[in-house]
Structure 1
Amino acid sequence: MIAMIKKYSWLMGICFILFSCQEDIPGLQPMVAPANLSVDAAVAQDQSGVVTITPSAENVITFQVFFTPGGDPVILNPGDSATFRYTRSGQYTQPITVVAYGTGGISSSTTIRVDLDVRLFIDEATLQMIAGDGTKRWVWNKSEAGHFGVGPLTNNFPEFFSAGPDQLNPCLYDDVLVFSYDENDNYSYSLEAGTDNLTFINWTEVNRFFPDASPQQFVDECRDITDQASFANSFVIIDNGDGTRTLDIGDSFLSYFAVIPGQYEIIELSENRLSVRGTSMPFNGDDPLYWYHTFVPEDFDPNAGNGGPEPPFDTLVFADEFDVDGAPNPDNWSYDIGTGDNGWGNGESQYYTDRPENVIVENGVLKITAQTESYMGSDYTSARLLSYQKQEFQYGRIEISAKLPSGGGTWPALWMLGADFETNTWPAAGEIDIMEHVGNQQNTIHGSTHDPANFAGNARTVTTTVPTASDEFHVYGVEWDASEIKFSVDGTVYGTLENNGSLPFNKDFFFIMNVAMGGNFGGAIDPAFTSSTMEVDYIRVYQ
């Protein structure tokens, strides 16, 4: 018996030692459901459709607010509010569900119903442009390159694909978008599908509608989806307050189906042009994409009004002779400052300034100097002048007398950009390069045009050789009309590129003069480079 007591005493001692040396084991956090969930709903009384939701509850960690059944939730912390705008006009009751989450994932929820009286107004000028005198019918601008395109969210142009004239399946082009309104400010949208009710569908979505289909990668298909998708809804144009506008067509779509959730950013809206950009949200997990669409009225003739003046262009309508020392004339020129997006989209290495060290008028010439220096995080500085909203022209003969810089990596350019580039993003706006030169190809002169079907490394280009490009002044010119663009040096034409009504070269363009360093075209920069200057004696425009 005494031996047994000793044995158990020994064991109890071991247990005491073990437990006294261990850290306390934390207990599981108790799971507590949120209590007393309530929702305050503030409905704007201006018929704007704006509703602000403020939830509250005890023992809550986070809230989810579902403004529309099946929609994505808005996540709120305790004390926060969420605002949503309903864009369907009329008097109706809208359910809003709030889910409150406590510890351990325990939740409580409630659904409230708010009474709405929504009348969304579109100003008269905008309404006239999109819906005419009551109804307006729009079709794809298929005769113009770039009427359909796709690109990543990181760029503002269709980097991945841009359709040429009439390039896509006819089942896309026979669709009609119909925008209508009545005297009570009811705005309606409908899509009239063409032959056999076929709709052009992104290939990744074919399986969603047709599970037994086997779509070929990147090959979109024509399918009848009238039983699965909405072809009619109300529409509204929303001013986002930041200079952009959104065309909201509810759960419908603008002819091409690519899981774009009914809202399109308006790039351009005029009497004869509707350009938009929608963001796709693929169900298959692919990255979202920007989809670019351009439409024209059904009765619009794309070739009308593009005859333009014909040569000879012998009337001087603009000139800058650079005969006043100091900064360039502010009536003609402004500046781009900084590095732009990814080196102005070309991987360039310079920082553009408006300092006299980089741009100045002296002794009757404009001097743009690129130089090696550490400035604002860049290793080079230069200047880029533009005549945007100051001097803009459609057609004519342009002459620029210039002596070019030299050195590996220098990239001087005298060029023109479509004046609508802010709403009609590059390359859709069009670009005419009067002269481009790179120091790594000394004495080779390039003349090019960029459009949605031919841009960046695929631009239409003509070249010539000027043996004294960096030693003497030469006159670089274009003669530009509705049918062609001729490139010349010292009055001698060395290349001609076609122009027609499907290309973006039948409108106002403005001038840009710059010297870049490196980049996709400039190439490797000579480590021994210190500075070099482009000198411009004059720029003249004749019409």
Structure 2
Amino acid sequence: MTKKMKNFKYILGLMIILGSFLQSCQDDDHDFGEVVAPSNLSLEATIVNADADNPYGDGSGQVQFMASADNAINYKFAFGDNTSTNVSNGNVMHSFTSTGVNEYIVTVIATGTGGTSSSMTTSVTVFSEFDDPETKSLLTGDDSKTWYVAAALPSHLALGPIDVKTSDWYNAAPFEKKDECIYDDSMTFSLDENGNILYELDNNGATFFNTNSLNAAGGTNGTGDQCFDYDTSGVKNVSLSAAPTIYPEDETTGTQMMISDGGFLSYYLGTSTYEILEITEDYMQVRTQSGGNAAEAWYLKLTTDPEGGAGGGNNSAEGKELETEFENLVWEEEFDGNALDADSWNIETGNGDNGWGNNEKQYYTADNAVVSDGSLKINAIAESTNGFDYSSARITTMDKQEFKYGRVEVRAKLPGAAGTWPAIWMLGSNFAEVNWPASGEIDIMEHVGNDLGHVLGTLHMPGNSGGDGISKGTEVENVDSEFHTYTLEWTADHILFAVDDIVFHEYKNSADTPFNQPFFLILNVAMGGNLGGDIDPNFSEDTMEVDYVKVYQ
């Protein structure tokens, strides 16, 4: 992944002129009866790391504001630089980013019940210089770029301690929020004629609110995350600045963005400031302080892929010829003998639990896997076998040939009869310990005769089991009469599915998935079941013929 370089030139002086022309304005709406505005409003501003030798701070441009008032339930800060934020506890850190010496009028508005408010204003004079052209370019594409919630990725929405990048508190599974409004959002960053960053959120009129921010939408805090009609129209300004130093340098870009006028990234948390932990051409992870709680943070992953990371984004490999990263052949099976190599293959028999968990109609036997004439034939046959109407075969390399990352190629000709369900797939080697779907599943190829020629590549993991797998298909001509090469290209960063070296599905892998351990191979032909569907009543026999299996690393 691209690691962002930046040019920090910290020449920053802050002179805080607290000749606070304290204005206490009280806006009582007497239509609601007598109400009491927040009183005894105070505001303190502290330059970060200021000392005798550095009276204007450490050069980061950061100022800690602390406001308090009796009877206040919310504080809105308007920083005078086209940015603002709302916090419930009155404490906020802000970075001033305009280069040179600039004076800003900073206003805090304390709001009480009934909408009454009191305000205080102070002037802040700041000299700062900050430059991060690479993040700016990656964010906007040097003109305009649209981002989406990375719904297909694990932990695309997460809550955890503010000082760890990977949390075990809460991590959203891929597409966990599919019934909410968050995945419909698009976030566009662009540049104006002066090179300033602009931002616009299109959420189709509905915003997904955190349970602690529902008051802002007219709801009641603490009643659970909800979608509300909420107007996000209008272009906001975005400024970049140095982020507070919490993570090691290699775990953050060190840059944060601030969105003006209460702007936010899709999920409403009552904040407009986001630290950019990682950013590439098509992927970004940010974090933001959780509801004013300095000890915890929300983490959000974004992608340029409208499918939320299930596709490849702006730089997608989909539809292109596979450019492999792996050339070293580490294992191959040519099926040259007259029997399966027992050092590499296991034969599984039976019907599993409830048809292998899929209501499959076949009984697997050792006799239905035949090696002859340089290929493996897995034969599905209509015959009475151990109480079932169909026989077939399923073979695996579990505990014998297991692989972590690489290119897996299988050249095969598929059965085409209605009701057949051939598959070339993989399970995590820890399957026996953690079971499915915690082990992860990679379906290199699945096909059903009831949808002849439509080949699927699918991933399963916790939150994406059964019909909720992360899946994409492609059309393959003569799938049952000619051999085709089905390929998996698998790294720590991405997983590609290809047919005849043309990529049709790309997934962005990450450390949060189960796809970062050794996996073993499975070849089988099922009959009927949840995906296979209705079986042709005239079915007699059909075959998946496998020419070879090769693994490169």
Q: Per the shorter chain, which TM-score range?
A: 0.3 to 0.5
TM-score normalized by the length of structure 1: 0.44
TM-score normalized by the length of structure 2: 0.43
Structure showing greater Rg: 1
